[in-house]
Amino acid sequence: MPDGVEIVVADLLKPQTLGQAMQGIDTAYYLVHSLAAGADRFRALDREAAENFVQAADQAGVRRVIYLSGLGEEAGTLSAHLASRSEVATILVGGRFRTTTLRAAIILGAGGASFELLRYLVKTQPFLLSSTQLDTLCQPIALADVLHYLAGCLDDERTAGRTFEICGPEVLTYRQLLELFAKVAGTVNLFLPVPAIPAAVVGRWVGLFSTLDRPVVKALLEGLGNPVVCHEEQIRKLIPHESMPLDRAIASALGLSADRVV
């Protein structure tokens, strides 16, 4: 463990455990979701966790909170997952601390739920079910870029109390993202046109043959119809940064050499 680092274990669903964790904290990062709890529970748990956090942070005198949220067209009908991310942001903003919200689309990093779902589909399924939802636009971002912005917000007080959209350099459809992933990974997938299949059915299938949590897969798939594209780049003015190209971001997350990317 690095010098000066202290690990304190707490549970956001058990308010009595939060006092020690918050003691002496100036700025807290909020990186929490409850997707694995299932569609009938996760939104309520997300709300409860955020409310408990706000109460504990206010009592401890936390000054700033930096929240990693999700993109989604607010004017449209958001999936339950994206709507919950937005609701949590509203709850955090209600605290006495100043909240910075970073709204991201798919994060390309090993271990992330969205990335691991992409990895599973491309690396293990020779045939991918094709539907019009795959034509939805997205703007993925490399994990390294997300970490850059998270750290940058801590260092730059001008980001306090504001909301920013963070995205990679390329807008593409989910179909194109799967094709790019396959190219970098060195695999071939065929798309089979099929009628609309409920996300719960696909989630159950993936859950049977992978280590991914079935409720998480279902929640992510339900968001396929929501475009997740940046409409502003204010963060770049405050924290200048050159985003990693998507092919290199995928290669890095897969543990492949950048030489594999042409």
Q: What is the pLDDT of residues 182-239, one digit of tens each?
A: 999 999 887 767 666 555 555 555 555 566 777 777 777 777 778 899 999 999 999 9
Angle at alpha carbon of residue 115, lines to 113 and 120, rounded to 5°: 95
What are the Cα distances from residue 255, in Å, to 110, 145, 260? 9, 17, 11
Q: Which of 66-75, 135-144, 242-251 has the lowest mean pLDDT?
A: 66-75
Q: Which residue has the tokens 């917000």?
A: 153
pLDDT for res 218: 75
Rounded Cα–Cα distance for residues 210 and 215 (Å): 13
Residue 62 C-alpha from the chain's centroid: 24
Q: Which residue has the tokens 């850059």?
A: 148
The phi and psi torsions of 43 (rounded to 5 degrees) equal -70, -40
Q: Which residue has the tokens 């996300």?
A: 199
Helix (H, G, I), strand (E, B) or coil at 137: strand
Which pTM value belongs to this model? 0.89
Residues 6 or more apart whose CB falls under 8 angstroms from that of 140 comprise 105, 106, 107, 108, 167, 168, 170, 177, 246, 249
Q: 98, 134 in Cβ contact below 8 A?
A: no
- Express each pLDDT in 28-45 by its tens digit: 999 998 877 776 788 999
Residue 163: pLDDT above 80? yes
Taking residue 75's Cβ as centre, other Cβ atoms within 10 Å add up to: 6
The phi and psi torsions of 232 (rounded to 5 degrees) equal -150, 155
Side chain identity, residue 19? G
Rounded Cα–Cα distance for residues 258 and 262 (Å): 9
133 band by pLDDT with thresholds 50, 70 and 90: confident
Top mean-pLDDT range of 2-6, 81-85, 245-249: 245-249
Q: 215, 200 in Cβ contact below 8 A?
A: no
Taking residue 219's Cβ as centre, other Cβ atoms within 10 Å add up to: 27
Nearest residue to 85 via CA among 42, 52, 148, 143: 42
